[in-house]
Amino acid sequence: MSNEPTLDIRTIHPMHRHPLIFEKFEALAPGEGFVLVNDHNPRPLFYQFQAELAGQFTWDYLEQGPEAWRVRIGRPAA
């Protein structure tokens, strides 16, 4: 997993973050993932994934602040 791409959204305008993250997720093949880096807990994003893609994604915290939050978001293997 350490060679997976990283998406650092800390410098991206907030209104563009979720669309970019979902675009990145949609491009994943089964079993693939990426590491999201944010400056706060992306809990609202998790709830959006739950609402739109329940059972179709994985969500694993790698780091939980205080400076950075790192979450591996993946598509389950088929």
**What is the structure's pLDDT at 48?**
97
Residues 6-74: name the CATH superfamily.
Answer: TusA-like domain (3.30.110.40)
Q: Write down the pTM of the prediction.
A: 0.92
Packing angle of the helix pair 43-53, 14-26 (nearest 10 deg): 40
Strand residues in 1-78 grouped as ranges (E): 6-8, 33-38, 58-64, 69-74
**What is the structure's pLDDT at 40?**
94
pLDDT digits (tens, 9 = 90+) for 20-69: 999 999 999 999 999 999 999 999 999 999 999 999 999 999 999 999 99
Distance CA 42, CA 35 (A): 12
